[in-house]
Amino acid sequence: MRSIVCIKRVPDSEARLRVAADGLAIESSGVKFSMNPYDEFALEEALRLKEQFGEGSVTAITVGPDDSRETLRSALAMGADEGVLLRSAGSYDGLAIARALADEITTREYDLVLFGKQAIDDDGMQVPAMVAQLLSLPCATVVVDLQIEGGIATAKREIEGGHEIVEFDLPGVVAAQKGLNEPRYPSLKGIMAAKRKPLDEKDIVLVEPKIELLTLTPPPARPEPQIVGEGADAVPELVRRLREEAKVL
Amino acid sequence: MADILAFAETRGGALRPVAGEVVATARKLADQMGGQVVAVVVGGPGSAEAASGLSRFGADRILVCEAESLSLYQPDAAVELLASVTESVAPGAILFPASAQGKDLAARVAARLDVALGSEATEIVLEDGNPVISRPMYGGKAYGRFRFLDSPALISIRPNVFPATVDPREAVVESLAPVDVSPRTRVVAVEAAERAALDVREAPVVVAGGRGLQDAGNWQLLEDLVDALGDEATLGASRAVVDAGWRPHSEQVGQTGKVVSPNLYFAVGISGAIQHLAGMRTAGVIVAVNKDAEAPIFGVANYGVVGDLFEVLPRLTEEIRAARRSGG
Ligand SMILES: Cc1cc2nc3c(=O)[nH]c(=O)nc-3n(C[C@H](O)[C@H](O)[C@H](O)COP(=O)(O)OP(=O)(O)OC[C@H]3O[C@@H](n4cnc5c(N)ncnc54)[C@H](O)[C@@H]3O)c2cc1C
Ligand SMILES: Nc1ncnc2c1ncn2[C@@H]1O[C@H](COP(=O)(O)O)[C@@H](O)[C@H]1O
């Protein structure tokens, strides 16, 4: 199984974030960055498929600034065979990113293109299906189970109140949701080996965005918290406030 | 002057609850932009009849593509249908629900039409005659305001945020012929969850439990509270209890679970880790029950009770039952 995995470097989910002075970005100094957690599920699935079929390759691709090299190295340490850095500034337009990825993917041979279901920075939830549409590939998003047999993929995707079973002929696109697998930690051997694996870098220019960020602001403040009281005795007062003050009961 | 397309999602020949929210939101936008609301419904038998109900939320035209083959979501057919409707209507914006189906479809349509998509909007306003959206980013740690530089503006709206305001029109229901596509992606079946409950993303009231419950067997306490709150309520969970195997992943709230915006959210025995807050900080009213007065969940809760949940919950269930009985 030859897989391409699209990964993104994002602020770690633990990170406390502040809006930068220009109001157009997150203050990145002092912030820890990691591989997007959903992309770890995608990468793990690609590694497992290669192991399962006993042959194939795993290529990790990212669009981003120089720092994204680090994220590719983590992917190589987990077990990817090669990394590709498409160096450019980011874009808030998911379609611009999708185009850059599609342009690169189309030059390669593959059976499967894997993504995370969502990047936890822009929370766009769009790049995977866009790439599929641009490349005229079948696609299943929010996938929690994937089986491949005889060139046909069967994916289970999460929907409200259940799952959809999606089938398609390879090659195709899958976007991973938590639950798909348990990503491995890179071994020391993996980390050492990663240093010798190929990491290709090229400068690219993204297409002009069709959406523009006007301002980035902290989330609207929540009302001042109130501690109603302690223990079960506080319950009548809580219920009273929920009815009379908040009017939600 | 521009019309607004509203993708009204169906399942099993019935409208999904978010359909009303999407059409009502389109109505507001159309009134400001001086155009019509054109609802698009794609689904299996029964969809046309269900679709006529969209006039209640302000649809002027209702375009329905009903076919046996569309009983389950068929993305390739849906994309081509929307592309052809877009060509004939030339809308200023297309609204989708930010549901599993809506998000999948919206991204495909954006690529098909070569326009940008703004996902999970929580606010839409008009500036200089064009839609500007606000949407949570970075797991809700920041909000972005975006303007579209091309038309139509594709927007998916977060469930439970925009009201399904009733604003009836005399709508015309027109039928759309299915477009002929050979499907690349085939949805072959839907498996319903064991509990046919409301999805945590769409329920107006969520009762979420965390590691403080100590054991999967103790969930009866939360189920009793859900029961007392009525059929608008459903269960949620922290990642700790999902990872422990006490609850299914479909109930997980947070950065690697679902983002919810109910009117009322109970966080019981949940500490309030930053990744959990990412999933629920936009809830209307948050109630926290935790024995640790220092737990970060109290920092976002409108109302907190410090105490042992095993004492507080039964009492809460009892008092809420009583309150609702007395006509609350
Ligand atoms: C990449 C990443 C993604 C993550 N995504 C998510 C996510 O999507 N959702 C999520 O929830 N977490 C997520 N987490 C995990 C998160 O960091 C926390 O570990 C998790 O939310 C903790 O769950 P909890 O609050 O149930 O448990 P704990 O933090 O253990 O809290 C239990 C709470 O119960 C209270 N308690 C105990 N006994 C009682 C009692 N008898 N009565 C009352 N209170 C009691 C305690 O005081 C404590 O506050 C993620 C973590 C990472 C690294
Ligand atoms: N800059 C990028 N480089 C590589 N892959 C990306 C990039 N942005 C998004 N992706 C992929 O697309 C998925 C969904 O991202 P998004 O649509 O932005 O939420 C991510 O989980 C990645 O797999």
Q: Which residue of A has its CA nearest to B286?
A: A225
Chosen from A10, A31, A130, A159 to mutate, greatest number of chain B CBs within 10 A: A159
Of B89, B9, B19, B30, give the one whose Cα is nearest residue B56.
Answer: B19
Question: Ligand 1 in contact with B309 (CB < 6 A)?
Answer: yes
User: Would the CB atoms of A14 and B275 count as touching at under 8 Å?
Assistant: yes
Of B122, B86, B45, B58, give the one whose Cα is nearest residue B283.
Answer: B122
pLDDT of residue B197: 65
Dmax of chain A from CA atoms? 68
pLDDT in tens, A167-206: 999 999 999 999 999 999 999 999 999 999 999 999 999 9
- Residue B270 Cα: closest atom of ligand 1: 25
Of B191, B22, B93, give the one whose Cα is nearest residue A154.
Answer: B191
pLDDT of residue B194: 55
Of A63, A122, A66, A97, give the one whose Cα is nearest residue A207.
Answer: A97
Ligand nearest to the CA of B218: 1
Spatial neighbors of A54 by CB under 8 A, at least 6 apart, are none
Protein residue closest via CA to atom 18 of ligand 2: A124
- The C-alpha atoms of residue B152 and residue B159 are separated, in whole angstroms, by 21
Give me the DSSP letters along B158-215: -TTTS--------PEEEE-PPP----SSEEEEEEE-SS-PPPTTT-SEEEEE-GGG-S
Phi, psi of B7 (to 5 degrees): -85, 110
Q: Are A79 and A54 in contact (CB under 8 A)?
A: no
Whole-prediction pTM: 0.93
| pLDDT by position in tens, chain B (length 328) | 799 999 999 999 999 999 999 999 999 999 999 999 999 999 999 999 999 999 999 999 999 999 999 999 999 999 999 999 999 999 999 999 999 999 999 999 999 999 999 999 999 999 998 999 999 999 999 999 999 999 999 999 999 899 999 999 999 999 999 888 999 999 999 998 655 568 899 899 999 999 999 999 999 999 999 999 998 999 999 999 999 999 999 999 999 999 999 999 999 999 999 999 999 999 999 999 999 999 999 999 999 999 999 999 999 999 999 998 886 4
Query: In this prediction, does ipTM exceed 0.90?
Result: yes
Of B295, B281, B106, give the one whose Cα is nearest residue A133.
Answer: B106
Of B95, B10, B98, B94, give the one whose Cα is nearest residue B53.
Answer: B10
Strands across the sheet with B303-306, in order? A226-230, B303-306, B285-290, B264-268, B205-209, B233-237
pLDDT of residue B193: 67
pLDDT of A85 above 70: yes
Using CB atoms within 10 Å of the CB of residue A29, give its burial: 0 to 12 exposed, 13 to 18 middle, 19+ buried.
exposed
Q: Which residue type, as a one-letter code, is found at position B171?
A: A
What 3-state DSSP class applies to B300?
coil
Q: Which residue has the tokens 């639950």?
A: A179
Of B90, B115, B153, give the one whose Cα is nearest residue A208.
Answer: B115
**Distance of CA B269 from the midpoint of ligand 1 (Å):** 8
Cα–Cα separations (whole angstroms), residue B327 to A49, A243, A249, B321? 58, 11, 10, 10
pLDDT of A123 above 70: yes
| Dihedral angle of Cα A192, A193, A196, A202, to the nearest 10 degrees | -100
What 3-state DSSP class applies to B248?
coil
Two tokens at B51? 């679709």
Give me the DSSP letters along A148-212: EETTEEEEEEEETTEEEEEEEESSEEEEE-TTS--PPPPPHHHHHHHTTS-EEEEE--PPPPSEE
Q: Which residue of B has its CA nearest to A164?
A: B190
Q: Which residue has the tokens 């500007």?
A: B132
Q: Are A183 and A43 in contact (CB under 8 A)?
A: yes
User: Would the CB atoms of A38 and B300 count as touching at under 8 Å?
Assistant: no
- The C-alpha atoms of residue B328 and residue B321 are separated, in whole angstroms, by 10
pLDDT of residue B327: 63
pLDDT of residue B328: 46
User: Would the CB atoms of A243 and B149 count as touching at under 8 Å?
Assistant: no
Q: Which residue has the tokens 């100094």?
A: A29
- State the distance between the two ends of chain A, measured CA to CA, in whole angstroms: 54
Q: Are B54 and B9 in contact (CB under 8 A)?
A: no
pLDDT of residue B324: 87
pLDDT of residue B195: 53
pLDDT in tens, A17-69: 999 999 999 999 999 999 999 999 999 999 999 999 999 999 999 999 999 99
Cβ of A151 under 8 Å from any chain B Cβ? no
Of A168, A141, A72, A32, give the one whose Cα is nearest residue B99.
Answer: A141
Q: Which residues of B fall within a CB distance of 8 Å from A212? A: 146-149
pLDDT of residue B196: 55
- State the distance between the two ends of chain B, measured CA to CA, in whole angstroms: 44
- The C-alpha atoms of residue B93 and residue B35 are separated, in whole angstroms, by 11
